[in-house]
Chain A
Amino acid sequence: MIEPIIYELGRPGRTGIDLPACDVPESPLPRELLRDDLDLPEVSQLDVMRHYVRLSQMNYGVDVGMYPLGSCTMKYNPKINEDIARLPGFGSTHPLQPEATVQGNLQLLFEMQQALAELSGFDAVSLQPAAGAHGELAGVLMIRAYHASRGDTQRQVMLIPDSAHGTNPASTTMAGFRPIELPSDPRGNVDLTELAKHLNDDLAGMMLTNPNTLGLFDEQITQISNMVHAAGGLMYGDGANFNAMMGIAKPADLGFDVMHFNLHKTFATPHGGGGPGSGPVGATVTLAPFLPGPIAQRIDEADDPADTHRHGYHLQMPSRSIGRLKAFHGNYGVIVRAYAYIRSLGAAGLRQASEMAVLNANYVQTKLQDVLPLPYDRTCAHECVLQGIVDGADSIHALDISKRLIDHGFHPPTNYFPLIVPEALMIEPTETESLETLDSYCSAVRRIAKEAIDSPELLHNAPSSAPVGRLDEVRAARQLRLRWLPASKSNADDR
């Protein structure tokens, strides 16, 4: 099923939209600065719409079916939040409008900061980072600035468990620190003996995801943070798995000094096919001054009866801020959706969401542990990790099982991550999936495990029901074709 490239649907002279005529006198154009040609499509509006509708029909989204990608939290994206974000009072405001004209926006930012602080136990929050990785960079730069402010510039080491998401070491390197990988123990916890080897003056801190990417809550979390703190280091929390924690425990109570949230995971904002996300950062009193800014603050009448500082909501840079990590204030449209989600659920609802997320994952783990190997036999958190290995089907790998799930109507789980589990399948159902859907999913996995033994070619040739078969990724990397060029121009191997 091939959908033509948008350019191929055009014909010279076609337009997709008309614009008003120029209602002012024209000025001379600077000829020598003008471009000669502009190679954009010339497509009718109908063909543009059909093109994108047909493209959408080749896609799988949460609104199509269960999407149990581990650590991605593909929960339902409430539609009311889409409408709310599109209200002109939110969508048509310019970030540089005078503050007096956008008090609603600044109030929303302030209340969202407070809500995230309440959920996590942190003292202050910045909503500026645009994604989790962006928040990580902020957090590590904050730790760096903190140590520098105390003259501890020799502290350059960031400890990162071997189960960590790749963004953790990448962010560490970007911030000028040295990542050191810590092995996990057989129960999936951070190995304390290994940790103890690094408790010295070089330690800047530790980055920990809790629960981790094995779907496990670290059984020694308070010991870990005590050890790191005693050595003069700080604890960074990767909040990607916060969906297991709302109303269950506050990361600040567990010893974290700074943490990022993923609004496009825990707080139900859409993934958009690769963003936009939002990665706010929370910090304790110690690190709060270093937060990226600006952040929203409120000046109450009671604090300022003479109105010398203008009551109401304002934007301000934290006193020792690491600076700006993005233009303007953050991915506001995403923040609006996330705040609407928080207000929709309330405290009890958010706790219930985490409870059901964890129950759903444990249910799947219980139902599948006799079908596929379970590397860590413990109560899991909001996701479980199984291995894509079938006894008696040596030619079958996690990839084959994943691709065959597509033929059964499900999106594959996360493959080959975390790296420390061979043939890993990381399954995160989320709380918005019903029991019927979970049972249907588990039945499909069970059937596939049987197919693996009886007719493995079904798995090797999967997916057979998708718009395309298995794609040649080697060819894509060897013969780089990163843009469309018409047949008349060279489209040969472009290195």
Chain B
Amino acid sequence: MSSITIDASCHYAQNHEWIRIEGDVAVVGISDYAQDQLGDIVYVELPQVGDQLAQGDSFGVVESVKAASDCYLPVSGKIIAVNDQLESEPELVNSDPFGEGWFVRLQTSDPAQLESLMDAPAYATFCEQDN
């Protein structure tokens, strides 16, 4: 467990998505813990720019060789960008899950929803228990 990184600037959902607020835009991806569990990522299916989604909606699928996991949006919002680089380099999710391995950027509609998520220390505890 000690080798797993938890980015302190993010909030986390129970399904291991992270969200980082950058002004009025939020960035979403999956955590280091998640990519470690999934193994080598081979493909990420992402939504379309312009999609309006609610908190808890499935916004994509992350695939390894043996599994495909749905990703759920931690907060509601409108998708304003998707990480096209993942199309040709899905391994970025493994190597840099909090940076280059980001999934989507969205315009959040309800900042208060952040409070329903875990902060970094709470997520660390959550992962320990998950183990």
The count of A-to-B residue pairs whose CB atoms sit within 8 angstroms is 18
B7 within 8 Å of A by Cβ?
no
A31 within 8 Å of B by Cβ?
no
A-side contacts of B91, CB under 8 Å? 478
> Are A478 and B87 closer than 8 Å at their CB atoms?
no
A473 within 8 Å of B by Cβ?
yes
From A416, A473, A495, contact of B65 by CB (8 A): A473
A474 within 8 Å of B by Cβ?
yes
Complex CA–CA separation, A474 to B90 (angstroms): 11
> Are B87 and A495 closer than 8 Å at their CB atoms?
yes
Give the shortest distance, in Å, between A70 (CB) and chain B (any CB). 18
Question: Would you give the 0/1 interface string for A118-154, flagging 1 where the beta carbon is closer than 8 Å to chain B?
Answer: 0000000000000000000000000000000000000
B131 within 8 Å of A by Cβ?
no
B100 within 8 Å of A by Cβ?
no
B-side contacts of A416, CB under 8 Å? 66
> Are A474 and B88 closer than 8 Å at their CB atoms?
no
With both beta carbons as reference points, the residue of chain B lying nearest to A493 in the complex is identified as: B88
A477 within 8 Å of B by Cβ?
yes
> Are A474 and B40 closer than 8 Å at their CB atoms?
yes
B43 within 8 Å of A by Cβ?
yes
Give the shortest distance, in Å, between B46 (CB) and chain A (any CB). 14
> Are B42 and A477 closer than 8 Å at their CB atoms?
yes
Give the shortest distance, in Å, between A473 (CB) and chain B (any CB). 5
Complex CA–CA separation, A477 to B64 (angstroms): 9
Give the shortest distance, in Å, between A286 (CB) and chain B (any CB). 37
Instruction: Choose among A474, A493, A495 the residue with the greatest number of B CB atoms under 10 Å from its CB.
Output: A474
Report whether over half of chain B's contact residues are helix, strand or loop; otherwise say mixed.
mixed
Question: Would you give the 0/1 interface string for B17-35, flagging 1 where the beta carbon is closer than 8 Å to chain A?
Answer: 0000000000000000000
* 8 Å CB interface, A443-495 against B: 473-474, 477-478, 493, 495
Question: Would you give the 0/1 interface string for B88-100, flagging 1 where the beta carbon is closer than 8 Å to chain A?
Answer: 1011000000000
B-side contacts of A477, CB under 8 Å? 42-43, 63, 65
Question: Would you give the 0/1 interface string for A243-284, flagging 1 where the beta carbon is closer than 8 Å to chain B?
Answer: 000000000000000000000000000000000000000000
* 8 Å CB interface, B73-125 against A: 87-88, 90-91
Give the shortest distance, in Å, between A352 (CB) and chain B (any CB). 39
B-side contacts of A474, CB under 8 Å? 40, 42, 64-65
Complex CA–CA separation, A495 to B40 (angstroms): 17
A-side contacts of B66, CB under 8 Å? 416
B-side contacts of A478, CB under 8 Å? 40, 42-43, 90-91
With both beta carbons as reference points, the residue of chain B lying nearest to A478 in the complex is identified as: B42
Complex CA–CA separation, A336 to B43 (angstroms): 43
Complex CA–CA separation, A176 to B66 (angstroms): 26
Complex CA–CA separation, A416 to B67 (angstroms): 12
Give the shortest distance, in Å, between A394 (CB) and chain B (any CB). 15
Complex CA–CA separation, A459 to B43 (angstroms): 29
Question: Would you give the 0/1 interface string for B38-50, flagging 1 where the beta carbon is closer than 8 Å to chain A?
Answer: 0010110000000
Complex CA–CA separation, A474 to B42 (angstroms): 6
B-side contacts of A473, CB under 8 Å? 65
Complex CA–CA separation, A473 to B43 (angstroms): 13
Give the shortest distance, in Å, between A480 (CB) and chain B (any CB). 10
Give the shortest distance, in Å, between B100 (CB) and chain A (any CB). 16
Give the shortest distance, in Å, between A418 (CB) and chain B (any CB). 15
* 8 Å CB interface, A382-438 against B: 416
With both beta carbons as reference points, the residue of chain B lying nearest to A416 in the complex is identified as: B66
With both beta carbons as reference points, the residue of chain B lying nearest to A477 in the complex is identified as: B42
| Given known A473-B65, A477-B65, contact A495–B42 (CB-CB < 8 A) | no
Complex CA–CA separation, A495 to B88 (angstroms): 7
Complex CA–CA separation, A360 to B7 (angstroms): 54
Give the shortest distance, in Å, between B95 (CB) and chain A (any CB). 13
Complex CA–CA separation, A105 to B87 (angstroms): 52
With both beta carbons as reference points, the residue of chain B lying nearest to A476 in the complex is identified as: B65
Instruction: Choose among A416, A473, A477 the residue with the greatest number of B CB atoms under 10 Å from its CB.
Output: A477
Complex CA–CA separation, A97 to B66 (angstroms): 46
With both beta carbons as reference points, the residue of chain A lying nearest to B40 in the complex is identified as: A474
Give the shortest distance, in Å, between B57 (CB) and chain A (any CB). 18
Complex CA–CA separation, A254 to B42 (angstroms): 45
With both beta carbons as reference points, the residue of chain A lying nearest to B43 in the complex is identified as: A477
Complex CA–CA separation, A477 to B90 (angstroms): 10
With both beta carbons as reference points, the residue of chain A lying nearest to B39 in the complex is identified as: A474
Complex CA–CA separation, A197 to B8 (angstroms): 42
B-side contacts of A493, CB under 8 Å? 88
Question: Would you give the 0/1 interface string for A14-57, flagging 1 where the beta carbon is closer than 8 Å to chain B?
Answer: 00000000000000000000000000000000000000000000
Complex CA–CA separation, A493 to B90 (angstroms): 13
A-side contacts of B87, CB under 8 Å? 495
Give the shortest distance, in Å, between B93 (CB) and chain A (any CB). 12
Give the shortest distance, in Å, between B131 (CB) and chain A (any CB). 15
Complex CA–CA separation, A495 to B84 (angstroms): 13
A-side contacts of B64, CB under 8 Å? 474
Complex CA–CA separation, A47 to B13 (angstroms): 59
Complex CA–CA separation, A146 to B91 (angstroms): 48
Give the shortest distance, in Å, between B67 (CB) and chain A (any CB). 11
Query: Apart from A477-B42, A478-B91, A493-B88, what 12 extra A-B contacts exist at CB < 8 Å?
Result: A416-B66, A474-B40, A474-B42, A474-B64, A474-B65, A477-B43, A477-B63, A478-B40, A478-B42, A478-B43, A478-B90, A495-B88
The 10 closest A-B pairs by CB, nearest first: A477-B42, A474-B40, A473-B65, A478-B42, A477-B65, A474-B65, A474-B42, A495-B88, A478-B90, A495-B87
Mark A residues whose CB is within 8 Å of B. Answer: 416, 473-474, 477-478, 493, 495
What are 18 A-B interface contacts by the 8 Å CB criterion?
A416-B66, A473-B65, A474-B40, A474-B42, A474-B64, A474-B65, A477-B42, A477-B43, A477-B63, A477-B65, A478-B40, A478-B42, A478-B43, A478-B90, A478-B91, A493-B88, A495-B87, A495-B88
